[in-house]
Structure 1
């Protein structure tokens, strides 16, 4: 009987560990999706920032208006 109880306890622990691992994996997958989305947004923002800097720098190179 003692061996059967120990086996049942181990099976129970294993089942809880499997559930915990699956829950952790689900969270990790969700976080990776968020990280991927944020990386895409950051790349788009950096591109837009460079475009705006390019526009600003090109306007500085223009000659001043005649009233200066």
Structure 2
């Protein structure tokens, strides 16, 4: 059961990293596209960056908490 749990947590970590990078790229694209005559689109992209970073931070904190509560 331990190996299955470790594999599941590993997959979730990589999904979080890929989704975070994708989210930051999407926010950057929105800001670049919205630069001309679509200021609301650019503002939405800029407003999304803190949310993506908050999600990545929660994932990093979760890994530390789980590592502390359940030592190897």
State the TM bucket, normalised to the shorter chain: 0.5 to 0.7
Based on CA coordinates, which of the two structures has the bigger radius of gyration? 1
- Cα deviations across residues 7-63 of structure 1 (Å, max 9, x unaligned)? xxxxxxxxxxxxxxxxx11100011000000000000000000000001110335xx
**For 2:25 and 2:4, how far apart are their aligned partners in 1?**
32
Unaligned runs of at least 5 residues, structure 1: 1-23, 62-68
Residue matched to 1:65: none
| TM-score, scaled to structure 2 | 0.49
Count of residues paired in the alignment? 38
Instruction: Give the RMSD, CA atoms, in angstroms.
Output: 1.1
CA–CA distance in structure 2, aligned partners of residues 60 and 27 of structure 1:
51
* TM-score, L = length of structure 1: 0.52
Moved over 6 A (4+): none
